[in-house]
């Protein structure tokens, strides 16, 4: 979607981090922002910053884990602001630890956010986009979409599902003139790990190969993906290169990464001795 001036853009998880940065960047590019997240206070803060910079924004508090609430929110946005041209699925939550140490609530939360929320949001906006033959959907994900990461099984499963949603929906909607982009940054400095009891120590050590990004950097790349209708956008280049190499021979690469210790988490689990990750 090359022309995004005056288009209505709905961003989920917009009260902080990547969602807030994407909202501000889209506003700078001339979009009218519908800011969606659970907490009104955080949304009002971001909306105020957008308005102070000369942009347009309205807030729509919503529990993105409630599919019916998502549908109602999308309807409210379109009634108040007009047809949604851009949807950015960014809402996410979850904890990192062995599945055996998670509660069922913790495990299911990570599936519902982001995947359940993204399905509900897409389901709500797609009919209108098809009727207008216009729209761009962006699904934010992480490197967990590409690799079978242990000690974050629900999170990894949900991120794999985000990839499936994005790539298959793109094939379905392309003939209607609607674009779908999967955007995958490296680790981003958003405070996610502190807010979600997500200990980065459970990530494999290879995560340290890649630079930590700022939300504003991600926002610029999201807008680039929208304007260019990218199928996938993995960045920085070092991460894109690593993910493509892994996809060429995933089993062989797993063997090599384990042998070199790069697939080992930075901490030892209670249930599995660290030597299990030695070749």
Number of H helices, E strands in the chain: 10, 7
Which residues have a Cβ under 8 Å from the Cβ of 230 and sit 6 or more positions away? 181, 183, 224
Helices (H), the chain: 17-28, 40-52, 67-81, 104-111, 117-132, 153-173, 192-195, 215-228, 237-248, 250-259
Token couple for 247: 């996809």
**155 catalytic per annotation:** yes
Q: Which of 178, 177, 174, 139 lies closest to 159 in space, CA to CA?
A: 139
Coil, strand, or helix at residue 271?
coil
Q: Which residue out of 146, 155, 192, 203 is catalytically annotated?
A: 155
Backbone angles phi, psi at 250, to 5 degrees: -60, -45
Which residues have a Cβ under 8 Å from the Cβ of 191 and sit 6 or more positions away? 16, 17
Burial of 220 (0-12, 13-18, 19+ CB in 10 A): middle
Burial of 245 (0-12, 13-18, 19+ CB in 10 A): exposed
Catalytic residues: 155
């Amino acid at each position: 979607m090359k022309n995004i001036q005056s288009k209505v853009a709905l961003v989920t998880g917009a009260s902080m981090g990547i969602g807030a940065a994407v909202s501000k960047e889209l506003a700078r590019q001339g979009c009218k922002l519908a800011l969606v997240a659970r907490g009104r206070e955080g949304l009002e803060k971001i909306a105020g910053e957008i308005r102070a910079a000369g942009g347009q924004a309205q807030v729509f508090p919503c529990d993105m884990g409630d599919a019916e609430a998502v549908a109602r929110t999308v309807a409210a946005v379109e009634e108040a602001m007009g047809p949604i041209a851009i949807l950015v699925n960014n809402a996410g939550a979850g904890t990192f630890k062995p599945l055996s140490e998670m509660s069922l609530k913790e495990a299911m939360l990570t599936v519902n956010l982001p995947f359940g929320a993204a399905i509900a949001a897409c389901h709500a906006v797609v009919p209108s986009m098809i009727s207008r033959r216009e729209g761009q959907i962006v699904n934010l994900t992480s490197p967990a979409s590409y690799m079978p990461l242990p000690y974050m099984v629900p999170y990894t499963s949900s991120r794999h599902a985000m990839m499936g949603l994005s790539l298959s929906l793109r094939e379905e909607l392309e003939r209607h003139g609607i674009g779908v982009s999967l955007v995958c940054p490296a680790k981003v400095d958003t405070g996610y790990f502190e807010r979600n009891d997500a200990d980065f120590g459970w990530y494999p050590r290879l995560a340290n190969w890649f630079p930590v990004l700022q939300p504003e950097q991600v926002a610029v790349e999201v807008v680039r993906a929208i304007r260019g209708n990218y199928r996938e956008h993995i960045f920085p280049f070092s991460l894109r290169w690593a993910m493509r190499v892994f996809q060429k021979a995933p089993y062989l690469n797993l063997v090599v990464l384990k042998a070199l210790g790069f697939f080992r988490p930075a901490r030892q689990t209670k249930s599995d001795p660290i030597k299990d990750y030695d070749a």
